Structures are given as C-alpha cells and as structure tokens.
Chain A
C-alpha cells in the first residue's frame, strides 16, 4: 500500500494505536478474531468508529430494549434514521431527536448547526418533508462568561442552519444549571410529514445495483467525530476542534430537495444519510440491513483536495452528503437529476452478493471486512450499577422570604422568557405554524388539511437525579402534558439519553433506573418510542452532568381550526387541576435555597396522569376550557407569573395551602383557564385573571407584585445576563 503513508499493522500493535482510536485491548482482539488477521489502519479506523458508543450503543443497548416500540399507529420503529407514525389519510409523521453535545462544547456555532443539519437529513432520508424543528439546550449559569459564549454560539448556529434551509423552529426548552458548566447539551429534533407508501429504508440489496454518492465533496473535516463524541471532555478536547464538522445549509437545502425528488423515483433501492462516521456507517449499515456485500471504489468519491487517504475518507464527517443504492442501469438518470440541483454526485460502488465490505482505491484493496460482525458483533457491556443512599430530608421553607424566592425564580433564565433565543429562529417559514415558540409546544398544520401536529421536547434532570426511577417517568409525563396542553392526542415519542460516564456505577444506576421508569411511562401513556439517541460521557473537568434524558413527543390534532381565535382575558377563572404535595426534591426552590439536589423519592401516578390528560385535551378541543398550562419548574407560583407576563394579564389567586407549597413541584398538575363554575375532575377554582397585579395568597404568605414588575423580571431574565460584552 504505497500510495498513502500510514502506520503498519506492526505499528498498530506495538504502539497500541487502537487505544488512541478508543478501542480497548479486548476489542482489538475481537477485531482480529473477526478478520482472522490483524487489521490494517483503514480497517481499524472503521471498527473503532462503528464500535464507538455513539454508533454501537454498547453501554446503552440493554436499556433501550426495555422501551415499548410498537403500537397501532407505529409504521416504523427504531433502527432506521427516524420513526414513522400514522396520522390517517395515508399520511405519516416522521421524527427523531439527536444530540450534538461534544461538538457544541468546543465549537458552539458549528456544533449546533451541524446537529440541526444531521437530524434534518435523518428525516429526509426516510422520505419526509420536514415541517418543524425543536431543540433542548442545557448550559451552566449565565453568570459565567463561557456559558454566555456557548449560548450565543449555539443559538446562532441553530438559527443559522434552520433559517437558511427553510424549516420553522417552533418549540424548544432550555435550562441553566451549574452541572452543565463546560459540557452544554444541544439536542435537536426534527419532525416531517410524508405519505405511507414512500417510506424509505437504508438498505443495499440486489447484486450489481449501484452505489451513488451525492452532496458536498469529502474533506478531512470531522475525522473520528463519533469517537470524539464518545469520550469525556478534557483539556485536550479543545485540540480536537478539527473533529468538529462544518455545516453548509445552502448545500443542505439543495440536498434535501434532491433527496425528496430521488425518493419519488421507483428505481431507488435504499438511501441513508452520511452522518456520524460518514461513509463508514452509511455503507456498512446499508449492506448489513440488505444482507449484502458492497464494493466501494474510493478514487471515485468527490473530494475537496488531493491526497485524502481511504482511512480519512471513510472517517470523514463532511456534512451534507447522502448515500444511495439504485437499480443497475438507472444510475445516469440519478446523476442527471443531481446535476440539475447543482450537486456533486458520482457512482462510487456496487452491491455484491458476498458478505463483505471491500474498499478499493485504484487497483489496491484497502479494507476487506465481513459486514454483519462489524455492526452486529459490536461489544455490549453490562456493568454493575450502584444505588446511592437516599436520605429522608425534612424540607421547611416556611421561614424563607417567599416574595424574594418568587422574584429570584421568575427572574432566573431557566424560568424567564426565552424570547432572546426563539426570536433568532425563523418560526413561520412554510406558513403552517399555528403555535410557535414562546409558551409550550409547537403546532404545525399539515399542509392542505385540517390536521396539525403538536410537537414538544422536555427534560427534567433534577427530578431524575433525585429519583432516577420515578424521575424517568416524570420526564415522559411532563412532555405528555405539553402535548395535552395543545389539545392534541399524544402519539409517540423519541428520546435522547444524555448522561455522564456509564463506567461510574452511580451513573450506570441512573441509566438503568431512569430508562426503566421511562419505559413504564411510555406504556402507561400510550406513547411508544420510535427513535432515539444516546450521548454518554458528558463530563467536564470535575464532574458529570445531571442525568438528562430528553423526550421529544408528537401529537395529532384532527381539526386545528378550534385554535382560531382561542384567547383568554381578564375575568376568566383560573383552576388548578391536581393535588399539591410537598414535593421539593429536585425543585427550583431547593436549588435556590439549599443549592443541591437531594436524593429523595418522587411520586407519580401514571394512570391518573393519562386519564387526567385525556380528559383535559377533550375539554379544550370541545371549547369547554380555553387554556391548559402544565405546572412545572418553580411550581404554581412561577407558572402563574409566566402566564401573567406572557399574556399581559394580572392574576388574583388564593389557595388553601402553605406558602412554601406554591413552589412545590409534584407531578400531574395543570393550570386551566375557563369560565367560572366549571365542573372539572380533581380541579379547584383558585382565582381569576385580572387586568392588573399579580396576587397569590396562601395560608401564611401573600405574594403581591405589580404586573409590570413581574413582566419586566420575566422578559429580562436572559437579556440582563447577555448585555455585557464578553
């Protein structure tokens, strides 16, 4: 192999080069077993990315197996680029969430932008046209300059890609907590709509069929990105900046249109996005799914510069690329079509009836790997978790100045208005956005119909840390509540599991317990998991992040016109649905006053959650009530303040509870707005919306503020942090 200067098999063995690529000694030995010989440099690179946590889920597979993945409406579950769920009339909704945490930590703009681009290509490669984007973000507190820098970069990166490609960003959520210092989370979700009969799979079938590459020319960017994403961040991470990919939304837009046009062609056999691990994962996964082999002629791959080796080519994560398999003899038709879109495209290989992935460059063979073991025999690690001690903490906030607590929480970036963020996202392009970012789920009409898709994303890491099992249930339930609040019927969900290192027994236990709770909630709430993503090793120099499973959920609104003109105003009655309990573990008042999350049991009744939610959504669509707003972080007091500030309305509320209970955060509660005197199950009328003033009375305390004061604190929560020039 004289064309490229690369380490020899002896170098690899003697210098343990596989360790640098993230493989253990045992994994290296397994590669030798599979090949029957020592791997060369290209082959080693391929194994190392395919067996990275990011691609192989080697620590998370056992947990993912617990999730229910089927249901009456599920047309395609996990395993492909994204899940597909029936919405009637031969139409389906396609969606997935994915993390781009590590890249965003070292290069926030490009890390976030390529996260958005990647998830869009996952949706498009199934055959769906994207109709909405969402994002879930976590940063350390904005009092730190580095966190402000990350927020600025991430938000402009998300907007930079989504705005340009022309997909509205319609909802999102963000939390600021010290546990994310230096390890921000950037989870992006995309939702698309398609017709049933166009669902594509990433498969390579039929010996002789041609493999077509389309999109940006391959460069040396993002080499080993998947491996990088599977390591803990360290001081050396900064030097891994070349592992971060660069987004090109303009090419992404052309590629999206070209892909959707290609999917209309009957001669298309299969298609897959070149995402993490680029050409390696797309080619080997397609061959594995098609139970076929594949020959690739890498000298045919469009490249940005001369001299890119097969190793670099296979590991490059250059963005905006797709791999297609088309019927033999029809390749020219596809090449011509792509030329019309002004995209680079080339035939780079063919499907074979062997079981091997063979990579040629000129007349030299650079890799010869059996396809099935590469993806199927990736190692799976089942470790021992260790349950931490849970104490019996006695909470007493009755001596605190609860007016001050109210001011602090309403003015904190986690609870304040997210206008600074969402106004940087085009949330109406496509002209079907019925409810956009600002307050709850996004709602996007399915073009040409009365139907609409409600879409929400949420995560409640402090609850999961306090009680992984019940917290896991609560995360699913919280997202369910967001969908309910639009009047939609929750259909299915996607998950992104953001955790620290699974090699730490306590974190392994968090994974184990929280996924168990999530799986139970999925069953109880009839929202199967149709796609997902795992991001482990989210640790900064000193600590791990809070366990942060993020749930994306979609719901169906059969006739969205009920939302036209739906409004609330002064004089309307406010109801609280659900009992208030002294649940403070993982709460925001605990964070503010005790500066900790104590490990305590949290409670949730999933049956009650389901029946209550379904009853409320029916009432909303039937016009019996006018607004549903789930109670979340900061409890009732913060929710009322947010409602008041967002709508420019006062509230006058009186409740027969202790003052501290206004900040309690137990599950399954909603604020509902309607006429006075309604009979709503488990609900009490707690007051009214007014023209002026925010007054919330409990047994031993009264919070009383001017509406303007509350609105200013809420609106200014993020902007007041972002004024300094960093």
Chain B
C-alpha cells in the first residue's frame, strides 16, 4: 500500500483533515515534522493548510526555509506527487516549486465559504477522476488567496496547460480566476480550495474524494511531461 507524508509545521491546522482524507481514499499516511531532513520512503508529499509559523512575516515565507523544504524539493524532482493546499500552496510558491504568489484577498478580509469551481485540466495525476470543465464544490478559507503572476508567467501557464482549477465566482481577485495550478511536469499541485473538507455529502460536498482516490492510484510511469 502506498504511504504519503503529511508535513506538519508549527501552526498547520488542516493536517489531521488531510491525513484522514488519504486514509479514507485507501492509502497510508503519516505526519512528518518540519525538522525532518528526508522524505525518502514516501510515495508522495502533502502540505496542509493552516498558518505555518503564524504566517508571520508573510504566509508561507518561514515554512519555505524550514529543514524539510529540501526534502520536498527532492520528492518533486523525483517525480513524486506533491500537493499543497491553502497554506501548502502558499508554501509551494514561496519555495519556488510553483510560479506566482498568493497575495491578500482583494476585499482584505478572510473568506470562508463553499466555493463553486471548474476543473479546467483533467489530465493531471490529481484530476483524472473529473470530467473536463466539470463544476465542483470545495470549501475555501483564506485571507491571502489572490493568485498573482505576471503576464509572461500566465502565458507559460496557459501554454503548458498548468491551470487546473478555476473559480466560478472569484472570491479573492485571483488572476483569471485561478484557484489551482500544477508545475510543468504535472506532479506538483497547489490549490487554495480544500478538497480534504469535501469528502462527504453530510458535510456539504463529496467532490474532493476523487482527487485523493486518483492521487493514491498514482504510478511513476503515469506522470505526464508536457
């Protein structure tokens, strides 16, 4: 059975939810402390939401220089799936594994609600379980979720089909409604919405379950190089 690492920073608060999501999808998962030097032995790395190091200085900035960062980069280089959700997305952009940055929501207040989203690339290892242009609902909960990048970066994202998820009703002013992107190789996904909070209709939506089911089905030879 595959085993995934859920990285815990001081201030992570969606760590247990993310671990539970992997377990529910049918794989093993373990917490790994941010002081760990290696993530060898794991089939993928998940970076949870929350407020790593209090988001002091700038969201994700301090987590990006934590000891575990190097191991996350190695996992990404090895082609293993790396998924960053919310604060995890912010950390991935701070590390530089994903382009662009997450800045304050346009309205300058935190936003927490069920968000209508569109799967605009169903060819990644994370999203193969969805139809192209399928509308889904994941919750969002963030204060710094406005995805920002320059024109050249945006053109590259478009050219390489890296935009995976967009907002149907943009909650934060993100450029071109971007809610989630992958790297060029397709194995690193960052997204502001929370699929790990959308696993059961009792809680509002089970649209997130397929993402984790696809993630754990990942095989090395399936990774697409665009």
Contact = CB atoms under 8 A, between A and B. Distances in A.
B201 A565 contact: yes
A686 B112 CA distance: 36
A434 B110 contact: no
Contacts of A422: 112
Contact of B10 (A253, A430, A432): A253
Contact of B141 (A248, A254, A428, A445): A428
B141 A250 contact: no
A254 B10 contact: yes
A438 to B, nearest CB: 10
Nearest to B56: A250
Contacts of B17: 429-431
Contact of B13 (A156, A423, A429): A429
B109 A424 contact: yes
B51 A250 contact: yes
A621 to B, nearest CB: 15
Interface string B127-157: 0000000000001010100000000000000
A214 interface: no
B112 A164 contact: no
Interface in B1-28: 10-11, 13-14, 16-17, 20
Interface stretch (A465-473, A474-482, A556-564, A702-710): A556-564
Nearest to B114: A428
B28 to A, nearest CB: 18
B112 A249 contact: no
Interface in B30-70: 49-51, 53-56
A561 B10 contact: no
Interface stretch (B73-81, B117-125, B162-170, B192-200): B192-200
B11 A423 contact: no
Interface in A407-441: 422-434
Given A164-B11, A424-B109, A431 B196 contact: yes
Interface residues of A, number: 34
Given A164-B11, A248-B54, A253-B10, A560 B202 contact: yes
B113 interface: yes
A163 B10 contact: no
Nearest to A250: B54
A565 B200 CA distance: 11
A433 B198 CA distance: 11
Residue from A248, A249, A429 whose CB has the most chain B CB atoms within 10 Å: A429
Interface of A: 156, 159-160, 163-166, 248-251, 253-254, 341-342, 422-434, 445, 560-561, 563-565
21 contacts: A159-B110, A163-B51, A163-B112, A164-B13, A250-B54, A253-B13, A342-B10, A424-B109, A424-B110, A426-B110, A426-B112, A429-B14, A429-B141, A430-B17, A431-B197, A431-B203, A434-B202, A564-B200, A564-B201, A564-B202, A565-B201
Interface of B: 10-11, 13-14, 16-17, 20, 49-51, 53-56, 109-113, 139, 141, 143, 194, 196-197, 199-204
Given A164-B51, A251-B54, A428-B141, 19 more contacts: A164-B11, A166-B14, A250-B54, A253-B13, A253-B51, A341-B10, A423-B112, A423-B113, A426-B112, A427-B112, A429-B14, A429-B141, A431-B196, A431-B197, A432-B203, A445-B202, A561-B202, A564-B200, A564-B202
